[in-house]
A and B are shown apart, each in its own frame.
Chain A
Amino acid sequence: MKTKILANLASIIFTGYMSIAISAPPHWSYDEEPIWGAIEDAAQPVPLRYPYAECGIGQHQSPVDLADASIVDSRPLNKLAAKYSPDTPTFFNTGHAIQVNTSKGFTGGLKVGKELLPLIQLHFHEPSEHVFGGKKFPAELHFVHINKDGRIAVLGVVINVGKENAAFQTILDNMPHHEGEANSPSRVRFNPAKLLPSGVNAANLKYLTLAGSLTTPPCSEGVQWYILTKSITISADQLEQMKAFYSNNARSAQNLNERAILSNQ
């Protein structure tokens, strides 16, 4: 009887472990960026064996070199408004970037025209992912929004070195140092709006927009990018603090493939 119970328990534990091992996506790193599309998940049958294939074969990939694109400013575009408010978020070390996840009850988001896309998380890349004429900026902030049918809109903000940013310091001070660790519940009040450029009208932002993708595997396309034309600053010391977490976690610029960038400036 005891043997049977132990055998059943062992098989349950083994099955649970295997299901986790099998269902976890394959590991990737920025060192492997040129071959993300070829990373193999040997546990999957052939059609699913390359879960990051879109990184290699996608035609609308992000980030891009903004100088390469023809910027069209003649078409009327949706009004863009960042409707962010104070929250008690989770500070999460993803293993690839420092990230802030909004709480489940957070109602803030990005209003595109009449549609509000809820803000799910924000994270940072060093150096910037979007470049201009090959020039990289010190860092880049991505606000990630997901609407009711699962589509993603990312608001990108370039970061330069200059005046210290208090909201960014809050993130640095509360961010766990190890991969996979989360500071939750953080009991820290944090307003994502404080990471927007000063002097801009958050209710009517000036932006560039193009169709792109996630900048990390699986590089899924169908992401609408909104890149603000104004930047924010963090101090040189804050940049070093960020690099102590993750540095060079930026994907290189991808081919535009005749995409145009629209602007409401």
Chain B
Amino acid sequence: MRIKLFLAIVLSLSVSCFADSEGNQPESLLEVDQMKNISTEDEQSTRIEAGKKETESQSSQETDLDKKSLMIDYCRKHTC
């Protein structure tokens, strides 16, 4: 239990350490670049969202299979 708690704390700290941070640059020089970055980020977020949905659907299917296989295994070994 303590090990699980320790690992959870370490994981959450490492995620926060690697979070993106914004740098300081003169505004006038960045306008065009910022527009390009925004559209690139939009494409990336769309891909990430699509990837997330696919992962959620897969994990939902895996969860259903897990539930079924756990129950089947349990009921084969015990008088349900």
Contacts and interface: CB of A to CB of B under 8 A. Distances in A.
The finding on whether chains A and B are genuine partners in a shared complex, rather than unrelated, reads yes
B75 A150 contact: no
Nearest to A147: B68
* Most B CB within 10 A of own CB, among A92, A120, A150, A249: A150
* Most B CB within 10 A of own CB, among A45, A96, A99, A146: A146
Interface size class of B (residues with CB under 8 A): 10 to 19
A249 B72 CA distance: 22
Contacts of A121: 75-76, 80
Contacts of B67: 149-150
Interface in B50-80: 64, 67-68, 70-72, 75-80
B1 interface: yes
Given A94-B78, A99-B79, A120 B72 contact: yes
Q: Is the interface of B mostly helix, strand, loop or mixed?
A: helix
14 contacts: A92-B76, A94-B77, A94-B79, A96-B79, A120-B72, A121-B76, A121-B80, A123-B79, A142-B80, A147-B68, A148-B68, A150-B68, A152-B80, A216-B79
The 4 closest A-B pairs by CB, nearest first: A150-B67, A97-B79, A150-B71, A96-B79
A21 to B, nearest CB: 16
A144 B77 CA distance: 13
A209 interface: no
A152 B79 CA distance: 13
Nearest to A101: B76
Contact of B80 (A45, A144, A249): A144
A45 B4 CA distance: 13
B70 A214 contact: no
A67 B67 CA distance: 34
Contacts of A154: 80
A144 B75 contact: yes
Nearest to B71: A150
A30 to B, nearest CB: 11
A73 to B, nearest CB: 28
Contacts of B78: 94, 96, 216
A101 B74 CA distance: 12
Interface in A64-98: 92, 94, 96-97
